[in-house]
């Protein structure tokens, strides 16, 4: 599946879920500037269960790095790594209760 098709699929699924609900969705964006280095402080965002969706940029993750160490209970983690340069990479944590 191409990146654009994957993005369209994500947007369509989120739109379908949110259109069927009047619930307010709480979202955040964090530039983590290396998820490996800042993992513990980043995970603190999830302790109070404040956000339904958290988008992260500058993960610095590479395809050879497993997602499992970055999984957070109650959330699905979707990521797209930068392969040919240093830095970069994005990820999204989506609360499992949203049905994604």
Q: Which residue has the tokens 């109070």?
A: 48
Going from N- to C-terminal start, the domains of the chain cover: 22-98
pLDDT tens profile 39-93: 888 887 777 778 899 999 999 999 999 888 899 999 999 999 998 888 999 999 9
* Dist. CA 44–CA 24, nearest whole Å: 22
pLDDT band, residue 100 (cuts 50/70/90): confident
Q: Is the whole model's pTM more than 0.95, yes or no? A: no
């Amino acid at each position: 599946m191409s990146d654009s098709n994957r993005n369209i699929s994500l947007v369509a699924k989120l739109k379908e879920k949110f259109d069927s609900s009047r619930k307010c969705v709480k979202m955040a964006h964090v530039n983590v500037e290396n998820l490996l280095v800042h993992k513990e402080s980043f995970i603190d965002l999830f302790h109070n269960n404040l956000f339904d969706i958290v988008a992260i940029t500058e993960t610095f993750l590479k395809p050879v790095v497993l997602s499992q160490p970055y999984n957070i209970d109650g959330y699905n983690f979707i990521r797209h790594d930068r392969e040919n340069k240093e830095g970069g990479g994005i990820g999204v944590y989506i609360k499992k209760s949203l049905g994604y």
